[in-house]
Amino acid sequence: MNFDFSEEQKLLQKTARDYLAEHCPLAVPRSVLESNASYSPELWKGAAEMGWLGAAVPEAYGGAGFGALELSLLAEEVGRALAPIPFSSSVYLATEALLLAGSEDQKRRHLPRLVSGERIGTLAASERPGRARADRIETRFDGARVTGTKLPVPEGDVAGLALVVARESGGISLALVELDGPGVERSALECIDPSRSQGRIVFRDAPAERLGEAGQGVALLERLLDRAAVLMAFEQIGGAQRAFEITREFTLGRYAFGRPIASFQAVKHRLADLYVAIELARSNVYYGAWALSDGSDQLPTAACGARVGASDAFELAGAEMIQLHGGVGFTWEYDCHLFYRRAKLLGLALGSAGEWREKLIERLAA
């Protein structure tokens, strides 16, 4: 079993890294964070022109026709650059949901606009802070209209299309809602990483169409989240790796008592522990990518392992980055807090690492 990527896939990754190095230095997420913007429209347009938004979308719908492996590598580079764009919500969630369960008509109407970046997609599942559970869903769907409130919704203040988890007679269903249509009110929420905004959406008899079969929303949502967990894990690994590299470079260049602080045993051990955590997580993430691209029945457990490992590694990298930068690590002028913010946000975006551990136990037991 070969978990390495092909030369063509590595070239795609290098192209993405080079593009982001030029167009998305850390000054770009910082500028979004320090402004009232929710994301960088210029970078979003660039990602669309590079074909990243439709990497795994068939050419018939305007995509590049690649697969999950190519999309995974792009996600890693987006995470490495801390790109302030709604990549995860629009690509891993909305686009993947349409590919999984959309009708031919729904795919032809919605996918080209998502691929071109003209429209941003999102998933509206939660209705209150904390774990999103089916028994807590109060939003109603009557087959044609949706009524209820969702929060927090990733990029909910700027998205144009939402996949809404709602209660319908017979169970939970998924509905597609045009957010620029009637019956929709949106507002931004404060969050730890404003460069990946969160919103509150109120639906009042908003026109909607069902995605997938009626009453089968829970099963479809589980499949969607497993796929998104693997893709987001690559984004987290990219961020963790970049945080590690910056921290290592800083400790090699910072001197105390005539020596680089990286030469002191206490610092060396912490860097070594961080390196091991990232590499162990990478192994789980690669396994998840294989399961996703191969359509393996091991994806549910592989996704849990990828999600847990990557979430823990990125949060550790963010925290250690601050600590190993010493007193300046806590200051606004240094970039440590950018990584810490993104690590915390992505660590909760699809449910916490603790929730995915519980899922893993349940799935292994079953």
Bridge partners for 172 per DSSP: 167, 216
Supply the pLDDT for residue 245. 98
Determine how many CB atoms are found less than 10 A away from the CB of residue 299. Answer: 22
Is 82 within 8 Å of 20 (Cβ atoms)? Answer: no
Q: Is the pLDDT confidence value at 13 over 80?
A: yes
Supply the pLDDT for residue 33. 93
7-115 and 218-365 have identical folds = no
CA distances to 3, 128, 148 from 204, in Å: 48, 18, 7
Q: Does the structural domain 121-213 have CATH classification 3.30.365.10?
A: no
Find the mean pLDDT for residues 282-306: 96
- Which of 152-156, 168-172, 251-255, 338-342 is the least confident region? 168-172
Find the mean pLDDT for residues 105-127: 97
Supply the pLDDT for residue 1. 61
Supply the pLDDT for residue 4. 80
Q: How far apart are CA 348 and CA 311, in angstroms?
A: 9
- Report domain extents, the chain: 7-115, 121-213, 218-365
CATH architecture of 7-115: Orthogonal Bundle (1.10)
Q: Is the pLDDT confidence value at 73 over 70?
A: yes
Q: How far apart are CA 355 and CA 308, in angstroms?
A: 9
Supply the pLDDT for residue 366. 87
Q: Is the pLDDT confidence value at 310 over 80?
A: yes
Find the mean pLDDT for residues 21-45: 95
Q: Is the pLDDT confidence value at 163 over 90?
A: yes
Categorize the per-residue pLDDT at 3 as very low, low, confident or very high, splitting at 50, 70 and 90. low
Question: What topology does CATH give the domain 218-365?
Answer: Butyryl-CoA Dehydrogenase, subunit A; domain 3 (1.20.140)
DSSP class per residue in 11-79: HHHHHHHHHHHHH--THHHHHHHTSS-SS-HHHHHHHHHTTGGGTTS-GGGTS----HHHHHHHHHHHH
What type of residue is 48?
Answer: A
Q: What is the pTM of this model?
A: 0.96
Phi/psi at 241 (5° precision) = -65, -45
